[in-house]
Chains A and B, each alone.
Chain A
Amino acid sequence: MPPAHQPPERPPLVELRQVHLSFGSNHVLKGIDLNVRKGDAVSIIGPSGSGKSTILRCINGLLTPERGEVVVGDTPVHALRTEAERIALRKRIGFVFQQYNLFPHLTVLENIVLAPVRILGVARETAEREARELLAKVRLADKIDAYPGQLSGGQQQRVAIARALAMHPELVLFDEVTSALDPETVGEVLSVIRQLVEDGMTCLLVTHEMRFAEEVSHEIVFTDGGEIVERGTPRDIFHAPRSPRTHAFINGLRN
């Protein structure tokens, strides 16, 4: 069981207020409100197409909402105008994708050190030493010189997590990171994320792994049709949902 709810005076690290976004005539986000406090793990669940990925992309500035506010720490993300401002934001936020998106032309080591060396200006030896430590942490020390194409999905995803962590982010966004994996490799990726949450990393996860979400999350958010239908503790959402839509979604998954 995750620790009981933290005292409310802890300020949120991520805050979304009435966020609206459309792709052409497709109104995808219809007034999203969301809070993630420092050190918390929050899971977003909901049917496919409900706007979960879009929410994450608004947080690291890959998308800009039409209306509403997105604040990370004291950065008003919705108001960022220049590429330099967005880069400064993204250095602080790790993003792990469903399809891993490793750089196929680089070895595992090069994938991990590229951004610290080129973007943060970390010395190469320092970056490599940290990369080795991170690879040991995700239990892939022996794959350091492999190319992504030579690794299984689960291994690639663990490299992608190490690559995100190498930037020392304040926050990591996970977008269905186990959905593309073979069932037998899902566990190894989840245990890496579990460790991260236990270490106190602030995590916002979009996931279909309900048992995992229930186990590691401080809070669950259920989205449907571009709205937040219900939010609460894992116990409330999974065992005593108030909304019939939440109830239907969770029961639908169980059967």
Chain B
Amino acid sequence: MATEQSMTVKAPWSAPSLPPTVLWFGVVALAWAALAHFQRETVAILWQWMPHLAAGLRMNVLISALAIAIGTLLGAIVGALELSHRRWVGAPARGYVQVFRNTPVLVLIFFTTYVFPFEIRLGSLYLAFPDWIKATLGLALPASAHVAEIFRGAILSITSAQWDASASLGFGRSQTLRWVILPQCVKRVLPPWMNLYAMITMSTTLASLVGVTELLESAKNASNTVNRTDFTVLIYLAVLTLFFLYCYPITRFTTRLERKYAFH
């Protein structure tokens, strides 16, 4: 196929295939079965702490979902701007990407936490600006820079013949982007985007360092309160498992989307 000649970006870090995941699932399940048998009492304590951990996990889910949503929206726009023929549009966009890709995420989280006020005044209305939202922004900024690069790469991987064909039909540049180029990018963008989502999910634990009570912080609280080594080991194993249970469906969903957009 003519269009197949354009390179298909094969990411080395594309979504994991099924067999290893199933294996990993089995190992985790087995470990928990063994623990429930040999460490009945500690597991019972863990069970009591479950609502506390679940509340923590909810915060991770919230932060990561919001950060990836903001990051994707912002990143798609910045990525398109990076390719603008107008220098005063392209250069700032590329600068934005360089700055936020090359700054440690933790620094950005500290930055957004201490730079933004704790509340925003809208006329006579005071809106609270809680730490978890600031941490979300701290994650969304580097995410948007990564998404911009992912989109830019995907857009550049579409042959110029598609631009020519579209222009010849009377499409302008932004219309070509909207109707012809970006829809073809979806498939190429999914694997690295998925990888980014997983990375952001992991990074949500950094929010604990600016006082957000998320899963890791909840686990630390529990561990300090119970103050037993076997419980500490167990609760961090639980944290691991919960993160896995959150990330795994994302992987599966992305694989499904990839198949849906496999049009050639």
Contacts and interface: CB of A to CB of B under 8 A. Distances in A.
Contact of A148 (B1, B168, B172, B180): B1
A90 B184 contact: no
Contacts of B170: 87, 90-91, 115, 119-120, 167
B162 A101 contact: yes
B164 A149 contact: no
A120 B180 CA distance: 16
A118 B170 CA distance: 10
Interface residues of A, number: 33
A199 interface: no
A120 B169 CA distance: 10
B168 A95 contact: yes
By secondary structure, the A interface counts as mixed
A90 B3 contact: no
B179 interface: yes
Contact of B161 (A84, A99, A115, A156): A99
B264 A104 contact: yes
B172 A87 contact: yes
Contacts of A101: 2, 161-162, 164-165
A238 interface: no
A105 interface: yes
Contacts of A136: none
Nearest to B175: A118
Contacts of A87: 170-172
16 contacts: A62-B164, A90-B168, A91-B170, A99-B161, A100-B2, A101-B161, A104-B3, A104-B264, A105-B263, A106-B183, A114-B169, A119-B171, A147-B263, A147-B264, A149-B4, A164-B169
